[in-house]
Structure 1
Amino acid sequence: MIISERDAHILQKMTQHCDEIYETLQYFGATKEEFLGNSICHGAACMEFQLVGEGIKLLSRNILGNGPEVPWNRIQEMGDFIGTQYYNADFEKIWDRIHEDIPVLREYCANLLKENNYEIIRVSPIPRK
């Protein structure tokens, strides 16, 4: 599928935010227990998740209609929930969405970028202190 330059830019940013979610988990600890017990990790990962959800709102219908394996609505709804109801967030559900939905989304975005010869923006690992 041929994508527009605008969609490519959004996909690049979304891929970067997906990577930053995982970089956050690596930095603060990659286990569910470490995630659930660390409010700084919650905040950082949730902000990136929210940005992914906002990116979905900006994509063209062409992109959204050709990725049936991606749970677009569920990711967008979780991003919206984080943005408006963070204090009521269920971090176990967020953990599940990070591990079930974000990998599918990231792979889809990266594949579209590769097919259209766009660069995938890489996140440089932050050394753990």
Structure 2
Amino acid sequence: MRNDITYVRHILDCIDNIQNFVNGRTYSDFQSDLMLQSAVLHQFMILGEAAGQISKKFRDEHPSIRWKLMIGMRNKPIHHYFGVDLDEVWKTVHDDLPELELLFEKEGLK
């Protein structure tokens, strides 16, 4: 069984991957590039799955981290795949991911 720190590393890797995928790209690029959309959504699903595997004890020890948000990042694309709001995904990439990364850093997990 993997430990919580391993899952945290997966989350941070996914954040880095997403940021690398969209680096230098515009929203228009994102809208028109199915491969980019798929890559970003796939990373969100991995990120959310990893967050969901982290123990309640660990989540309780790090309450400032937005665990439910991350788990929701997995559920939304899976349950609403054909209705994914690209604008919402793009905003999440640029607004929520940097904030999450900072929270992990403040918790000493990065």
User: Do the two structures share a fold, i.e. TM-score over 0.5?
Assistant: yes
Aligned identity (percent) is 21
In the aligned structure 1, how far is the partner of 2:29 from the partner of 2:63? Answer: 32
Relative to the length of structure 2, the TM-score reads 0.82
User: In structure 2, do the counterparts of structure 1 residues 101 and 64 end up closer, same or farther at CA, with 3 Å as the change threshold?
Assistant: farther
Number of paired residues? 107
In the aligned structure 2, how far is the partner of 1:71 from the partner of 1:99? Answer: 16
Amino acid across the alignment from 1:48: Q
**TM superposition outliers: structure 1 runs of 4+ over 6 Å:** none
Q: CA deviation at 1:55?
A: 0.8
- 80-89 or 100-109, which moves further after superposition? 100-109
Which ranges of structure 1 fall in alignment gaps of 5 or more residues? Answer: 115-129
Amino acid across the alignment from 1:67: P
Q: Whose helix proportion is higher, 1 or 2? A: 2
* DSSP 3-state at the match of 1:112: coil
Q: 2:14 aligns with which of 12, 17, 20?
A: 17
- Aligned residue for 1:81? 76
Q: CA deviation at 1:37?
A: 2.0
- Aligned residue for 1:113? 109
- CA-based RMSD of the aligned residues comes to 1.9
Q: Does 1:99 align with 2:76?
A: no
Which ranges of structure 2 fall in alignment gaps of 5 or more residues? Answer: none
In the aligned structure 2, how far is the partner of 1:112 from the partner of 1:13? Answer: 16
